[in-house]
Chains A and B, each alone.
Chain A
Amino acid sequence: MTTATAPRAARIGAFAPALLLLAVFFAGPLIWAVYSAFTDVALTGSADVNFIGADNFVTMWNDAQFWNSLWLTLVFVVGSAVIGQNTLGLLIALLLRGRNPVARGLVSGLVISAWTVPEVVAGFCWYSYLHRDGTLNGILGWGGLDQNWLYTTPMLAVILANVWRGTAFSMLVYQAALNDVPPELHEAAAVDGASAWQRLRSVTLPLIRRSIVTNLMLITLQTLAAFGLIYVMTKGGPGTKSSTTPIYMYQESFQFYQLGYGTAMALVLLVIGAIFSLIYVRLIKVDNL
């Protein structure tokens, strides 16, 4: 590789637009967040903002609703991403391997179309699907199981909706990973009399281990701060039954005007995200660095 042909100034100049944007509009708010989490800044327009130390964090520590929201976020991430999307995506990718092209096209086409639909529209689809008079009750009606699912099982409802919306990502990751598994290994194991399950466990899964871990990190990060889907479907309700931390943070900041407290919660989310992101950066193989 040829180096040092371009003058140093030009090389740094090339970074300028990106650096400027990132510094002002990305790093800026982050630094601002650290500052305002320690203030009582509110949306009411009052000009005097006071430095109140760690008060917001003390409030948070004693706020049962915050802990409830954190718990619901964990349930949402584990239920919809780690268990739902990840397992279903892997299962679909495995089952589609070597099937006829029509079946492959149809199934992955449907799974991917759920993924391409904008968040708000996905929320509408599931709202009308699970509503009292919706499609699901139309199907279940004869069994006497019909109910307003958004009201009786709000967390299950938003988890299922997010599995529906996000499975395509995991499926695509696993389809790509499975393409790299040499078929000879499989045949050899089959000749040795290994059952389908044994082949999966001792040949396929170890070979795609890296993809599994990377996928888990990425979908956790994508799910952690999900807002639109839950907000459209339940608004965090009924009561606080599906109020995950992003929803609670939004309500405290923009409905109860507690921007300082909302920012403190945002910081907690950011720190959790940063930890997962660091693990992800360590995992990914960066060849050209």
Chain B
Amino acid sequence: MTGARRGPMRLAVYLVLALVAISFFLPFLWLVVASIQPGAALSADITWEFSFRNFADVLTVDTIFRPVLNSLIISGGTALLTVFAATLAAYPLSRYRSRFGRIFLYGILFSTGLPITAVMVPVYTMYSQFELTDSVPALILFMAASSLPFAIWMMKNFMDSVPVELEEAAWTDGAGWLQSLRRIILPLMIPGLTVVFVFTFVTQWGNFFVPFILLQSPDSQPASVTIYTFFSTYGQVAYGQLAAFAILYTLPVVLLYTAMSRVFGGAFSLTGAVKG
């Protein structure tokens, strides 16, 4: 290829990339600008008045603190329960070949594809039959169950990379499987456990539909639901506050993601997912 053809080609590529960057940036623009404009409405008229009043206005127990605490409890509880059950289940799947394990693994993989949104109507019917709606623990149990297939799949792939020889030494010393899992495999799997925990946490932090259906009382709803209520109630008049709320709610997820990709590389959340 000659230099004369390369030049314009390169320029064209960079132009397309610049267009992509701008198109991906523009939808964010008003959210960021509106959050620091004291009288922001939906219209994108930028004034030269900047302040953090919107942030100050939403930093109250009812708007931010309680919903965020609820989000922490719900997402954190779900992630803990998921990591616990997934680690135990991944152990025999990774260490022993059995017919049951094979079927189980295929079932897990199949379930990762099922649309959770569609399950929510029957889940609601079932929950209201057993009076489990509006209960945070019951919500966490369902969220953990729906996170498990993917978590087990990731966890098994992480565990496969811990050499079995390390365990054999412990077995000859008479350690049981639970001991060797706890003392030998888990310490070596801290990165894997962290990835599964953070992935589950981040997914549930953003989960809107499941708590929207299963939790009715505003006091126990997570930020993903209350921010929607705030939007449909005050969105038109207090857009600046909504923007500030949205930024505060999004920040933890973005920080977690950035920290994770610094440590484990950009595609951390795809680990074990796409091995096609």
* Min CB–CB distance A24 → chain B (angstroms): 7
Convert B1-20 into 0s and 1s, putting 1 for each residue whose CB lies closer than 8 angstroms to a CB of A.
10000000100011011001
Given contacts A21-B145, A232-B231, contact A113 B254 (CB under 8 A): yes
Tell me whether B125 and A36 are in contact (CB under 8 A): yes
Q: What is the bound-complex CA distance between A67 and B234, given in angstroms?
A: 35
Convert A215-243 into 0s and 1s, putting 1 for each residue whose CB lies closer than 8 angstroms to a CB of B.
10110010011111000100000000000
- Stretch of B62-70, B97-105, B188-196 with 4 or more beta carbons under 8 angstroms from chain A: B97-105
Q: Write out the residue numbers on chain B whose beta carbons fall within 8 Å of the beta carbon of A281.
A: 106, 109-110, 113
The tally of CB-CB contacts under 8 A between chains A and B is 295
Given contacts A26-B146, A111-B24, A173-B270, contact A135 B29 (CB under 8 A): yes
Nearest residue in A to B114 (C-beta to C-beta)?
A273
Which residues 98-135 of B have a CB within 8 angstroms of A? 98, 102, 104-106, 109-126
Given contacts A24-B145, A133-B44, contact A33 B119 (CB under 8 A): yes
Asked if B28 is at the interface of the complex by the 8 Å CB criterion, the answer is yes
Q: What is the bound-complex CA distance between A269 and B119, given in angstroms?
A: 9
Q: What is the bound-complex CA distance between A261 and B88, given in angstroms?
A: 39
Given contacts A22-B148, A246-B117, A270-B114, contact A6 B177 (CB under 8 A): yes
Tell me whether A125 and B28 are in contact (CB under 8 A): yes
Q: Write out the residue numbers on chain B whose beta carbons fall within 8 Å of the beta carbon of A255.
A: none
Tell me whether A124 and B31 are in contact (CB under 8 A): yes
- Stretch of A9-17, A57-65, A78-86 with 4 or more beta carbons under 8 angstroms from chain B: A9-17
Please classify the interface of chain B as helix (H, G, I), strand (E, B), loop, or mixed, using the class held by over half of its residues: helix
Nearest residue in B to A1 (C-beta to C-beta)?
B164
Q: What is the bound-complex CA distance between A276 and B44, given in angstroms?
A: 42
Tell me whether B209 and A228 are in contact (CB under 8 A): yes
Given contacts A17-B85, A263-B121, A284-B276, contact A95 B13 (CB under 8 A): yes
Q: Write out the residue numbers on chain B whose beta carbons fall within 8 Å of the beta carbon of A99.
A: 13-14, 17
* Count of residues in B whose CB is under 8 Å from the partner chain: 100
* Min CB–CB distance A161 → chain B (angstroms): 8
Q: Write out the residue numbers on chain A whose beta carbons fall within 8 Å of the beta carbon of B48.
A: none
Tell me whether A277 and B113 are in contact (CB under 8 A): yes
Tell me whether B109 and A284 are in contact (CB under 8 A): yes
Asked if B201 is at the interface of the complex by the 8 Å CB criterion, the answer is no
Tell me whether A29 and B117 are in contact (CB under 8 A): no
Tell me whether B92 and A14 are in contact (CB under 8 A): yes
Convert B172-186 into 0s and 1s, putting 1 for each residue whose CB lies closer than 8 angstroms to a CB of A.
000011100000000
* Min CB–CB distance B195 → chain A (angstroms): 15
Given contacts A5-B171, A135-B26, A190-B1, contact A253 B242 (CB under 8 A): no
Asked if B213 is at the interface of the complex by the 8 Å CB criterion, the answer is yes
Asked if B246 is at the interface of the complex by the 8 Å CB criterion, the answer is yes
Asked if A106 is at the interface of the complex by the 8 Å CB criterion, the answer is yes
Q: Write out the residue numbers on chain A whose beta carbons fall within 8 Å of the beta carbon of B178.
A: 10
Asked if A70 is at the interface of the complex by the 8 Å CB criterion, the answer is no
Tell me whether A17 and B17 are in contact (CB under 8 A): no
Q: Write out the residue numbers on chain B whose beta carbons fall within 8 Å of the beta carbon of A134.
A: 30, 42-44
Tell me whether B28 and A11 are in contact (CB under 8 A): no
Q: Write out the residue numbers on chain A whose beta carbons fall within 8 Å of the beta carbon of B228.
A: 120, 232
Asked if A207 is at the interface of the complex by the 8 Å CB criterion, the answer is no
Tell me whether A116 and B257 are in contact (CB under 8 A): yes
Tell me whether A17 and B111 are in contact (CB under 8 A): no
Tell me whether A30 and B117 are in contact (CB under 8 A): no
Partner of B274, one of A139, A161, A173: A173
Partner of A289, one of B102, B118, B148, B177: B102
Given contacts A10-B177, A284-B276, contact A18 B209 (CB under 8 A): no
Q: Write out the residue numbers on chain A whose beta carbons fall within 8 Å of the beta carbon of B224.
A: 118-120
* Min CB–CB distance B240 → chain A (angstroms): 11
The 4 closest A-B pairs by CB, nearest first: A277-B113, A225-B115, A214-B276, A133-B43
Residues of chain A whose beta carbon lies under 8 Å from any beta carbon of chain B: 1-6, 10-12, 14-19, 21-22, 24-26, 28-30, 32-33, 36, 41, 88, 91-92, 95-96, 99, 103, 106-108, 110-114, 116-121, 124-126, 128-129, 131-136, 138-139, 161, 164, 169, 172-173, 175-176, 190, 196, 210-211, 213-215, 217-218, 221, 224-228, 232, 246, 249-250, 253-254, 259, 262-263, 265-267, 269-270, 273-274, 276-278, 280-281, 283-286, 288-289
Between-chain CB contacts (< 8 Å), 19 pairs: A2-B168, A2-B171, A10-B176, A11-B98, A24-B145, A32-B125, A107-B17, A107-B20, A119-B208, A124-B235, A131-B42, A135-B30, A136-B26, A173-B270, A176-B270, A254-B124, A259-B124, A273-B118, A284-B276
